[in-house]
A and B are shown apart, each in its own frame.
Chain A
């Protein structure tokens, strides 16, 4: 249990660091670390598939994409952030933690715990046969994203041709 709590604290700290750090590379690494911790938590709580996806996609793939993007963009276009954000974020964060603790404490006992379903084995069955429409929807979202990128960058490529 104590390992669990340590991991949770690590998750929160890394996430906060990802928001607050000004250096984008460091922020991306913190995000990857946070997601790695979350992945481990998933494994420990008996959800191996969720853990594997979390680590491979969020900690791995997305971090690589972030790094590539940061490496490809030129420096010098920094936008000055308003000072307000640095004050407002910690305040908001503390407020959120307080509300979170109160709400969860009052509500957790009232939820009837579900029997933990063994995830392994049935996973493919569930994903492909029972939640097929979800897969269709996810394909749609990715497709829409690709088309959006094509649409938004169309003029730039034309300018380059000229």
Chain B
């Protein structure tokens, strides 16, 4: 039942506010984390079997009547579902202790679950309008979650995020409308076929431009990034982890890739545009991150930079490039989730996000410091962690395709990344401990547990990268690569 990926979190989200009246803390904690666990186990066990015979579309009986709920599960969708389930489970475990002082936990988890349901729906969508619809589901929940602290800064950030995100959704919706007007259908395959038959060059180009702008805003690629450095740091730490680790990738990169690879086909112009956006994001955001004093803001800029890497790999369009881009997406989701969670632990212990005020925290918070170091090194691309292999694959793909300048810039941006992550280590965790941090304590059990799980995953993916690549990433990359060969003749 593919529909369970959307239905289960929704139903639980519907029940939670009622259960929250009975038990304010324990029941919401248990129920929502069990839901995340179920999604993870279901994706890992049943997902593989479902798609063993190729992509699946499903029709469902609703009160005895057959209704058309078409969801498509293929290698790429399953890969994204796994990533979503993994990071949301860890963020959910982290929330058990972290969200205590925010209050209204049942409500928080309900919004969290709706966001997850929206992302799952988007990943499984088979037609353009559903992409737009589930984009909005995840977005509406995320606005409220960014503002969850209700402070001035949070509300301002959420409002800015809301306005720019609405513009993005409007671009996407206009694009979908025009495509529907052109081809008379909404399904990916049908629209793709329709576009090939119609003499609609300029119109298709207009739609492509609208989608690049819309999904570019959602993914916060560089000219469209203004909202992200405010929104992501202002959210509660587990939500920052979800937004930076998953939401920008699902509603930005995944949607963009899916539509461009299976509807328009990746033309060389489009490929160059995406690679250009990617490389600018990777370099400029890395430079901007260097100057930040707020630890979460630095992480947010780092997200833009890493999204640049992913788009660079996928935009290249060769099988190896797509493989590297997707693998980096996965590694970045794990590592950036981990880093935002540890920054939440630090903020909870010290009450500040300013790097200049910290120092020597490793002595008092050894687990947080160690896990943060693992995440930093993984994103910076230090072997043998996951991030190293994915960056290596992207750079190899660039070299293989003869794109030397891009490869050189990618390596240099990686050095910048290492630089600012070492800054975090030096300023926050190493050195002499300041007098006023003498009494701080390690984060509570569940928060530490969540970060340790993610850190172990970062290490595990790095050590067993060949197995992970072969069993999870390759089937996903194959789906996209087939899309390229299937549709590209028109573009050449």
Contacts and interface: CB of A to CB of B under 8 A. Distances in A.
A151 B68 contact: no
Given A133-B70, A147-B114, A151-B144, A107 B202 contact: yes
A144 B144 contact: yes
Interface string A92-121: 000000000001001100111010000000
A141 B136 contact: yes
Consensus secondary structure, chain A interface: helix
A145 B143 CA distance: 10
Nearest to A132: B67
Given A106-B202, A136-B69, A137-B121, A143 B144 contact: no
B17 to A, nearest CB: 7
Contacts of B150: 152, 154-155
A152 B144 contact: yes
Interface string B1-24: 000001000100110010000000
A65 to B, nearest CB: 17
Nearest to B148: A151
Nearest to A156: B150
Given A129-B67, A151-B108, A110 B141 contact: no
A160 interface: no
A134 B133 contact: yes
A115 to B, nearest CB: 9
A138 B10 CA distance: 12
A131 B125 CA distance: 12
A130 interface: yes
Interface string A62-90: 00000000000000000000000000000
Contacts of A131: 68, 129
B114 A144 contact: yes
Interface in A38-54: none
A133 B130 contact: yes
Contact of A148 (B68, B141, B200): B141
B114 A140 contact: yes
Contacts of A155: 103, 150
Centre residue among A136, A138, A145 by max chain B CB count within 10 A: A136
B62 interface: yes
Given A144-B114, A147-B110, A111 B67 contact: no
A140 B133 CA distance: 9
Contacts of A107: 202-203, 206
A126 to B, nearest CB: 9
A150 interface: yes
Interface in B87-120: 103-104, 107-108, 110-111, 114, 117-118
Given A103-B206, A144-B137, A151 B67 contact: no
B269 interface: no
Nearest to A146: B17
Interface in B108-159: 108, 110-111, 114, 117-118, 121, 129-130, 133-134, 136-137, 140-141, 143-144, 147-148, 150
B199 interface: yes
B315 to A, nearest CB: 26
A154 B203 contact: no
B241 to A, nearest CB: 19
Centre residue among A110, A130, A143 by max chain B CB count within 10 A: A143
B182 interface: yes
A148 B144 contact: yes
B71 interface: yes
Contacts of A134: 129-130, 133
Contacts of A150: 17, 104, 107
B383 interface: no
A138 B143 contact: no
Nearest to B194: A112
Contacts of B67: 128-129, 132
B366 interface: no
B118 A140 contact: yes
B68 A132 contact: yes
Contacts of A140: 10, 114, 117-118, 121, 134, 137
B182 A111 contact: yes
A9 to B, nearest CB: 22
Contacts of A103: 206
A130 B66 CA distance: 9
Nearest to B185: A114
A131 B130 CA distance: 9
Contacts of A111: 181-182, 200, 203
B69 A110 contact: no
A152 B111 CA distance: 12
Contacts of B130: 133-134, 137
B439 interface: no
A151 B62 contact: no
A91 to B, nearest CB: 18
A128 B17 CA distance: 28
A114 B137 contact: no
A147 B203 contact: no
A129 B133 CA distance: 17
A144 B140 contact: yes
B133 A137 contact: yes
A32 to B, nearest CB: 21
**CB-CB nearest 4 A-B residue pairs:** A148-B144, A137-B133, A132-B67, A144-B140
Interface of B: 6, 10, 13-14, 17, 60, 62, 65-71, 103-104, 107-108, 110-111, 114, 117-118, 121, 129-130, 133-134, 136-137, 140-141, 143-144, 147-148, 150, 181-182, 184, 198-200, 202-203, 206
22 contacts: A106-B202, A111-B203, A112-B182, A114-B184, A129-B67, A129-B68, A130-B68, A132-B68, A133-B69, A133-B70, A133-B121, A134-B130, A137-B134, A137-B136, A138-B133, A140-B121, A140-B137, A143-B114, A147-B114, A148-B111, A151-B108, A155-B150
Given A114-B181, A143-B10, 6 more contacts: A129-B67, A134-B133, A137-B130, A144-B141, A151-B111, A154-B150
